[in-house]
């Protein structure tokens, strides 16, 4: 897959899609690496601009600082939107016991999903299943994974 070049505009577009669609949106697997590279480049540009002494340099520094601040807000909001969808998805999968498509998750997100689902499954087994069998809840009960 070709390297995706991260820009302010495409970060904003990724966030917009995530906000207005109910399902988790597919993001390139190298997203985090690409974002870190973008942030490093923007920080280097800011450092370079800060060293220059001219009327225009201060304006450019201010614009770059604002853009960097906005990118960080976008990244935080994007993470929280995706995190919420993953939590809801893990809950749904734990309740339904059906295998679901996790292909839209980044590898790091899949770890979060798997751990959440395991905790939810364990809790459901230790509390609800015991209650339904007229037993006291036991959260130490962990059902074997299939």
Percent of the chain with pLDDT over 70: 93
Q: Cα–Cα–Cα angle for 65, 54, 56, nearest 5°?
A: 55
Please tell me the distance from the alpha carbon of residue 36 to that of residue 39, in angstroms, as a whole number.
Answer: 5
Average pLDDT value for residue range 91-119: 94
- Is residue 56 classed as helix, strand or coil in its secondary structure? helix
| pLDDT the model gives residue 97 | 87
Percent of the chain with pLDDT over 90: 71
In tens, the pLDDT along 68-79 reads 999 999 999 999
The two tokens of residue 138 are 């036991």
In tens, the pLDDT along 9-37 reads 999 999 999 999 999 999 999 999 999 99
- CB within 8 A of 27, min separation 6: which ones? 14, 104, 106
The two tokens of residue 49 are 């601009």
């Amino acid at each position: 897959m070709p390297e995706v070049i991260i820009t302010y505009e495409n970060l904003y577009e990724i966030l917009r899609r995530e906000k207005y669609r109910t399902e988790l949106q597919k993001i390139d697997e190298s997203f985090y690496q690409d974002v870190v590279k973008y942030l490093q480049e923007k920080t280097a540009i800011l450092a370079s601009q800060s060293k220059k002494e001219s009327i225009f340099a201060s304006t450019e520094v201010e614009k770059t600082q604002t853009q960097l601040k906005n990118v960080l807000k976008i990244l935080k909001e994007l993470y929280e939107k995706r995190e919420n969808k993953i939590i809801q998805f893990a809950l749904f999968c734990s309740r339904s016991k059906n295998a679901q498509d996790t292909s839209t998750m980044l590898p790091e997100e899949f770890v979060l999903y798997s751990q959440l689902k395991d905790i939810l499954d364990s809790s459901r087994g230790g509390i609800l299943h015991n209650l339904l069998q007229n037993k006291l809840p036991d959260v130490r009960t962990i059902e074997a994974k299939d």
